[in-house]
Amino acid sequence: MHWLVLGFIVIGALIIGTRSTGPSSQEDKVQAIARTIKCPECEGQSVATSGSASSKAIRVDIGARLRRGQSADEIRDYYAAHYGEAILLTPARSGAASLVWIIPVVAIVIAIAALAAAFVRWRSAADGHATDEDRALVAAALADPHGEGSGR
């Protein structure tokens, strides 16, 4: 029962931790989207951190698209269609790419369940009782004060 409560707490913490209120201002929204798109000219930089002309143009375009009412996913989809999926720095949260988000959580839950099962099994194994054979072995060990055994 305690493990079930712990599982709910962990899942709840994961859900709360991954939720965000979202960026508040237009510039915050542009930056949030720009952080998920790779600079087409730079090596390993996002559009948000790059100072290249193409990154500046993409940031301006993101702002214009937001003003026209496009969502962050629509904007990311546009750039993925235009430059290829490799331009996205974060995988999509839907479709087959959602497995990147789901598999670690499932693996953690399975690991916790396996640990709980192992603890239950170890606990039940520790409740065993000594057999006559076990008692005879202990008595023989206690009778031999030097611990040399009967084989010497």
The CATH code belonging to domain 21-90 is 1.10.8.640
| Residue 67's pLDDT band (cuts 50, 70, 90) | very high
Please tell me the pTM assigned to this model: 0.49
CA nearest neighbour of 46 among 70, 76, 67, 23: 76
| Residue 91's pLDDT band (cuts 50, 70, 90) | low
Domain boundaries, the chain: 21-90, 92-124
Q: Which residues of 37-62 are buried (b: 16+ CB within 10 A; e: fewer)?
A: bbbbeeeeebbbebeeeebeebbeeb
C-alpha–C-alpha distance, residues 131 and 53, integer Å = 81
Residue 28 has pLDDT above 90, yes or no: no
Give me the amino acid identity at 1. Answer: M
Local structure of 88: helix, strand or coil: strand
